[in-house]
Structure 1
Amino acid sequence: MASESRFRTVVLPAFAALAAVVAVAAGAIWIIDATPDDDDTVANSPAPVAGPQLVHLGDSFASGAGTTPLVEDSPVMCQRAQANFGERIAATRKLTVTDVSCAGATTEDFRVAQYDGVGPQLDSLSTSAKYVTVMIGGNDGALFTTLVGECTRLAQDDPTGSPCTSALGRKPFRAIATHTQPDVTATLAEIRRRAPNAQVLIVGYPRLMPAARTCRPAVGIADGDLDYVNRIEAALNAAVRAAAKATGVTYVDLERPFAGHDACAARGTRWIEPQYGADTAVVMHPNERGQEAIAAAVAAQMR
């Protein structure tokens, strides 16, 4: 990628000894050995099925970052996977999918090029779209990077306290209210304008952590910061829900489907991969079972 491309990185001190780890601000996405390996990572996508069009937009939670194989046309930084919920729904319902989701996307990237060769996501929309699936907002204001990155860093010196709560206070809540919610609202309004014949469905984010316990070292959040992190995620989802209501868009809630399947759950039960001991290359993100669960939740609300 050329030097003028926007490339946002954050590296946790806890990962400094792991040369294979690359951190990218994509909903606090942590990619381990993410470079594709021949045919076992990037596979040819099946030929599109003629049918109504589904346009799939969003960030790393939408792109399925960490699951493989990638779709044939996925830029490596987008981590656009065949297992992501938009691709799954399109295959199940025999829809023609236009998938422009990309890890690291913010609402700004719906309007401007995110990387060289990765244009504005809104440009994929037209009057022919029957469905638009969206997951966005978690990267606005570097929210998830702060929650996973900064809160974990602060916990190293105070694992049983609440260092992130003390350091950040009300800042994330103010940012969500004053920037994220209006930006998501404006983005959804523009999607409705460009795809007037489509049912637009925006998906809330799954809870990364359980309500009552932390699970260091799997996830490095301090004990006293658990409620703080959960309240910030709840505020983000409330903002996304409000934006959906204001624009006549269908909101898909993941809190109930993902209950008990967070990053602290056991292997085989969890749908979010933890920071340490993960089974996927990208952590603190939905694994393949998680993407399948999101697809089921979205499909249940499609007309």
Structure 2
Amino acid sequence: MRSRTGTFGLGVVAAVVFALATAPTAAASPIEQVNLGDSFSAGNGVLPLAPGTPIRCLQSEQNFAHIVARRQGYGLTDASCGGAATRDFYIPQFSGTRAQFDALSPSTDVVTLMIGGNDNSVFSGAIAACVSALATHAGVFNPCEQQNGSSFDDKIVDTTLPSIRQALRDIHSRAPKAEVIIVGYPWLIPAERTCEPMVPVALGDVPYLRNLQGTLNEAIRQAAADTGTTFVDMSVVSEGHDACQPVGVRWVEPLLFSQQFVPLHPNAQGEAAIAAEVTAALASS
């Protein structure tokens, strides 16, 4: 009698253990990724557009953040928007949008962003100035540099750098446990040669614009270093993939004869290349 009772007890225990071992467990919450930033971060020009996003933001579902999220299995909230500057982290950029920082919370695990190019109209202002200088001063070696000197670089150092530094500090404050990754801009033009008419600037203004982009990327790197933020440097890997290269080689579309509707921005290959570098940075963090 004692033996049968003991056997029964062991059988019950075994059944309970088996049930606990095989019971379904609650699915783990996905890692929360938030993407912030401007047109390079939003993937302006790369189709298709991300559904449910403000049309004026031209956010692509093939931008680097979407690619990273799919590869990593992250839950993505993408607040990036074409034309954004650091001020748009704090206030709505236009009707129908929210301040980009509204996407951040203490539960955010990963933040990715590209920002700085629109502060002080660095990219658009400098490109417009240099295209105009070529048109109005044909035959002059570096008309844009002669007209503008260090003005664009000075704005980056004096205004853009402090703005990016403060924005990164505020990201860390709003998302204190998050890995924050800021990405530098891939090269838009080569180091020396011109590629008129695709990017119509004078030969001497090619290194002028290239150095300007170098100043901006250095400001982003410095702001990252000052705030404990991971910096993804695109300058080495994007060398030889600028807008002057042939289709299939370039990661950035040219100003004229672009293969996408937003010129002088990363194409699908460029966004994929950025995604690869961000993924590598996440793996090493």
Asked if Structure 1 and Structure 2 have the same fold, meaning a TM-score greater than 0.5 normalized by the shorter chain, the answer is yes
Of 109, 112, 116 in structure 1, the residue corresponding to residue 88 of structure 2 is 109
SS of the residue corresponding to residue 87 of structure 2 reads helix
Residues 35-54 of structure 1 correspond to what in structure 2 (within 5 A)? 51-54=30-33
1:211 aligned partner: 191
Q: For residues 56 and 124 of structure 2, what CA distance do their matches in structure 1 show?
A: 16
Q: For residues 74 and 220 of structure 1, what CA distance do their matches in structure 2 show?
A: 33
Q: For residues 93 and 272 of structure 1, what CA distance do their matches in structure 2 show?
A: 25
Which structure features the higher share of helix residues? 2
What one-letter code is carried by the residue in structure 2 that aligns with 1:130? D
Matched, 1:98 2:73: no
SS of the residue corresponding to residue 156 of structure 1 reads helix
1:283 aligned partner: 263
Of 82, 89, 93 in structure 1, the residue corresponding to residue 61 of structure 2 is 82
Structure 1 unaligned regions, length at least 5 = 1-48
SS of the residue corresponding to residue 56 of structure 1 reads strand
Structure 2 unaligned regions, length at least 5 = 1-27
Deviation at 1:158?
2.9
TM-score with structure 2 length normalisation? 0.88
Of 95, 103, 107 in structure 2, the residue corresponding to residue 124 of structure 1 is 103
Deviation at 1:196?
0.5
What one-letter code is carried by the residue in structure 2 that aligns with 1:281? F
Q: For residues 30 and 212 of structure 2, what CA distance do their matches in structure 1 show?
A: 40
Deviations 1:33-81 (A, max 9, x none): xxxxxxxxxxxxxxxx951111000000000000011111221110110
Deviation at 1:157?
2.6
Q: CA RMSD in A?
A: 1.1
What one-letter code is carried by the residue in structure 2 that aligns with 1:103? G
Matched, 1:247 2:227: yes
1:32 aligned partner: none
Of 123, 128, 132 in structure 2, the residue corresponding to residue 144 of structure 1 is 123
Deviation at 1:163?
1.1
2:135 aligned partner: 156
Deviations 1:169-219 (A, max 9, x none): 111111011100000000000000000011000000111001120100000
1:237 aligned partner: 217
SS of the residue corresponding to residue 223 of structure 1 reads coil
1:179 aligned partner: 159
SS of the residue corresponding to residue 214 of structure 2 reads helix
The ranges of structure 1 where at least 4 consecutive aligned residues each deviate by more than 2 angstroms after the TM superposition are 157-160
SS of the residue corresponding to residue 237 of structure 2 reads coil
Of 253, 262, 270 in structure 1, the residue corresponding to residue 250 of structure 2 is 270
Work out which of the two has the higher radius of gyration on C-alpha atoms and give 1 or 2.
Answer: 2
